[in-house]
Amino acid sequence: MVDHLANTEINSQRIAAVENCFGASGQPLALPGRVLLGEGILTKECRKKPKPRIFFLFNDILVYGSIVINKRKYNSQHIIPLEDVTLETLPDTLQMKNRWMIKTSKKSFVVSAASLTERKEWISHLEECIKHLLTKTGRQPCTEHAAPWIPDKATDICMRCTQTKFSTLTRRHHCRKCGFVVCADCSRQRFLMPRLSPKPLRVCNLCYRQLLAEKKETEADRRPMEPMRSAIQGYEPSSGDDSDKSDDEKAEQWPADTEFYTSEVSWSSFHS
């Protein structure tokens, strides 16, 4: 299907339409050989609450963003190279159905589909594109993934000390290493994780001790090699920020019977 659609007028028109919907806030998406394979609305587990997001599957990237006006205006565009993606199917819960996790080295998050068939279609097409890319480039599947953030409302107390209760005055924070919801006292440390960001990130006390121990061990292993490696040019890690700015809006209280990951939006089938 990719070969059939590549460099066709209909494919160019579809990609141009996506670019127009994101407007000036989005990046150009048209590249030689890039094909738009499918699109649809999935429910993404965000920090405050599950939210609908528009997703576009290309043969080499996955693009998603926030919906302002469906089919007309999107923002908060995120672009994920498919070579960096690993998928994990998740079991249903009482609140969440048809779930799976999209794992990358910079950001991992849970999405859900409106039906089991829709989930199967997404996963099938994603896996096919990922397999094709890895075969083409000779790369191995990514093995290091960022931890998904646990939603704020999943717990009323700090998940590390289990003593601090959250309130309007006692803020929730997230450890960037484990994704746990923690209090300020349990996450005062910052640690540089180049894979995630060029700046030191908030981590919980436990992860900080583990990261510090790993760093010391790595430095000890490298020390005898320093004279030999001094002339080798190092590489700069990616500094892309994949944070979901629109997810930091004012927190809302969820009723006890709220069902996560429900969607009444009809599925937009894959292009053929």
pLDDT per position as a tens digit, 16-64:
999 999 999 999 999 999 999 999 999 999 988 899 999 999 999 999 9
Please, which residues bridge with residue 101 across strands?
88, 110
Residue type, 102: I
* CA neighbor of 173 nearest in space, from 186, 190, 192, 191: 186
Rounded Cα–Cα distance for residues 82 and 225 (Å): 35
- Can you list the domains of the chain with their CATH numbers? 3-145 (2.30.29.30), 149-219 (3.30.40.10)
Residue 160 near residue 123, CB atoms below 8 Å: no
**267 or 110: whose pLDDT is higher?**
110
Distance between CA atoms of residues 157 and 165, nearest Å: 4
* pLDDT computed for residue 225 by the predictor: 52
Q: Is the pLDDT reported for residue 254 higher than 70?
A: no
User: Which residues is 73 bridged to in the sheet?
Assistant: 69
pLDDT band at 242 (very low <50, low <70, confident <90, very high): very low
Q: Print burial letters for 83-92: b (CB count within 10 Å at least 16), e (below 16).
A: bbbbeeeeee
Kindly state the helix (H) or strand (E) to which residue 195 belongs, with its residue range.
none
* Enclosing H/E stretch for 249: none
CA dihedral 207, 64, 52, 268 (to 10 degrees): -140
Range list of H helices, the chain: 2-5, 9-22, 116-137, 205-222, 226-229
Check: CB of residue 157 under 8 Å from CB of residue 166. Answer: yes
CA-closest candidate to residue 202, choices 185, 214, 190: 190
Q: Name residues whose C-beta falls within 8 Å of residue 38's C-beta, 6 or more positions apart in sequence.
A: 56, 57, 121, 122, 125, 268, 269, 270, 271
Closest CA to 126 of 49, 228, 195, 55: 55
- Mean pLDDT over all residues of the chain? 83
pLDDT in tens, 123-181: 999 999 999 999 988 888 888 899 999 989 889 999 999 999 999 999 999 999 999 99
Q: Which residues contact 68 (CB under 8 A, 6 or more apart)?
A: 74, 75
The distance of Cα 147 from the centroid of its chain, to the nearest Å, equals 10
